[in-house]
Amino acid sequence: MSGAVVLRDAVPDDEALVAQFVRALAEYEKLLDEACGTEADFRRALFGTPPRAWALVAELEEEPVGFAVWCYSFSTFAGRPGLFVEDVFVVPEQRGCGIGRQIFRHLARRALDEGCARMEWRVLNWNTPAINFYRSIGARPLDAWTDQRLEGAALQSFAA
């Protein structure tokens, strides 16, 4: 990595880039068949009124090399919001250069600046490189909690 990495908030017209990075991440995670978000979906989520998610783009020499998408949760126990990192991705040829660390540090500062009690995210159990990175920055797994999901036909059926 020769130049400085610039982290910037995503702006309208970045939705194609976000969609591209999401597909690249999904391919890496072997979940490409689940990546069905469209540019219109990302435009609505990131730049609609109100926004439902936020994103940043990492650039090296003005070329996009990574991104992050996050939203906010709320902890009733803490009585404060939390920053939930939905996705972080750095292009393979730039991994190991500190870009992921810069993204996470940026988000940690944002969480503190916005009064968040914590920052959380998920990692696939097989993703040892990511798990090792998360341990290196002081993150710890929440083994006592199991994610639950209601989606698709089950969500529609239950809502009815």
Residues forming the active site: 134
User: How many Å apart are CA 113 and CA 38, to the nearest integer?
Assistant: 31
Dihedral over Cα of 26, 8, 84, 107: its sign: positive
Which amino acid is located at 128 in the chain? T
Q: For 31-44, b where at least 16 C-beta lie within 10 A, e where not — what string?
A: eeeeeebeeeebbe
Q: Which residues contact 125 (CB under 8 A, 6 or more apart)?
A: none
The closest of 91, 51, 85, 82 to 68, measured between CA atoms, is 85
Q: Is the CA virtual torsion 16, 18, 19, 24 positive or negative?
A: positive
